[in-house]
Amino acid sequence: MSHYCGIDLHSNNHVVVVIDDEDKRVLEKRLNNDLSLTLKALSPYQDTLHGVAVESPEFQATVFNPGRYPALVSRR
């Protein structure tokens, strides 16, 4: 099974959503802006996570699983 993640970044928190390859939402969590919390929330999916898309008003990035793909970052 494959998983994909979207993160909506705000100034003091972010919402992490993970879906599977059937578009079923398997995780939706609002977290404080602390990388360790994000990594902990995503850890159950680390072997099946194919991509992470991050969106914020000032910054957009697509970061792929570092073990499989290089990080791609773009500014608006």
14-28 pLDDT, tens digit each: 999 999 999 999 999
Query: What is the span of the domain harbouring residue 57?
Result: 3-74
Domain count of the fold of the chain? 1
| C-beta of residue 4 within 8 angstroms of C-beta of residue 50 | yes
Percent helix, strand, coil in the chain, to 5, is 15, 50, 35
The DSSP result for 17-28, as a single string, is EEEETT--EEEE
What distance in Å separates the CA atoms of residue 39 and residue 4, rounded to the nearest whole number?
14
Model pTM?
A: 0.76
Q: Residue 40 maps to which CATH number? A: 3.30.420.40
29-73 pLDDT, tens digit each: 999 999 889 999 999 998 898 888 888 766 655 554 544 444 433
